[in-house]
């Protein structure tokens, strides 16, 4: 634990520049994806084991907080994927290490070029969903109740 505190402190103090920022971003994005993916997988398995609970969770994931999280995961996947390929290439060809700094910049640019339009698209299509509900007198902020999804509803 002491080393974790040290890492957090040194992350701001240590001037590792591009390589260090990539290293932190890669780890944080990886942890974020893992947290999401574990929930996502055990939830999706419910489509087989408990379909009514799965149907309820699909309704819950239409809540604005989950929609925001979904955009975040999209960004994390894109950055982690591109930076992971960069790491793999540099591990494979040590003679390319002189391009460390430039390759990190390329990854950030590639990430932003894709993530900015995609996140805007996801955000506005979610806003469209909310205003559709609002037109019907409902709200996308409503948290669905599990009792509306009784066991055996798909029998």
Partner 1 sequence: MAAITEKTGITRRKVHIQGNFERRAFLFMRLSGIALLILAVGHMLIQHVLNSSTNLTIMFVAEQWNSWGWKLFDFLLLAFTIPHGINGLRNILEDYIHNKTAMKFINLLLLIFVVATLLWAGYAIINFDSTPFMN
Q: How far is the CB of 127 from partner 1 (least distance, A)?
A: 10
- HEC per residue, 23-87: HHHHHHHHHHHHHHHHHHHHHHHHHHHCHHHHHHHHHHCCCHHHHHHHHHHHHHHHHHHHHHHHH
37 binds partner 1 (CB under 8 A): yes
- Angstrom distance (rounded) from CA 32 to CA 35: 5
Distances, alpha carbon 127 to alpha carbons 65, 88, 89, 139, in Å: 12, 38, 39, 11
Binder among 18, 20, 24, 61 for partner 1 (CB under 8 A) = 61
Residues 97-126 that bind partner 1 (CB under 8 A): 118, 121-122, 125-126
Half-sphere exposure in the Cβ direction for 103 (13 Å, CA): 18
With contacts defined by CB under 8 A, name the span among 9-17, 36-44, 95-103, 105-113 that binds partner 1: 36-44
H/E element holding 143?
Answer: none
143 binds partner 1 (CB under 8 A): no
Binder among 96, 99, 129, 144 for partner 1 (CB under 8 A) = 129
Interface residues with partner 1 (CB under 8 A) are 1, 3-4, 7, 27, 30-31, 33-34, 37-38, 41-42, 44-49, 51, 54-55, 58, 61-62, 66-67, 70, 73-74, 77-78, 81, 84-85, 88, 91-92, 118, 121-122, 125-126, 129, 154-155
């Amino acid at each position: 634990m002491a080393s974790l505190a040290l890492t957090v402190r040194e992350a701001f103090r240590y001037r590792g520049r591009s390589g260090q920022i990539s290293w932190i971003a890669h780890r944080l994005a990886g942890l974020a994806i893992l947290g999401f993916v574990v929930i996502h997988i055990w939830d999706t398995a419910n489509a087989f084991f408990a379909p009514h609970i799965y149907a309820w969770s699909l309704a819950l994931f239409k809540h604005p907080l989950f929609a925001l999280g979904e955009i975040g995961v999209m960004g994390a996947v894109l950055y982690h994927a591109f930076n992971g390929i960069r790491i793999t290439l540099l591990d494979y060809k040590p003679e390319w290490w002189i391009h460390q700094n430039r390759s990190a910049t390329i990854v950030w640019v590639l990430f932003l070029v894709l993530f900015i339009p995609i996140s805007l698209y996801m955000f506005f299509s979610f806003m469209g969903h909310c205003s559709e509900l609002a037109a019907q007198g409902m709200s996308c902020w409503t948290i669905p109740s599990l009792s509306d999804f009784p066991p055996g509803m798909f029998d």
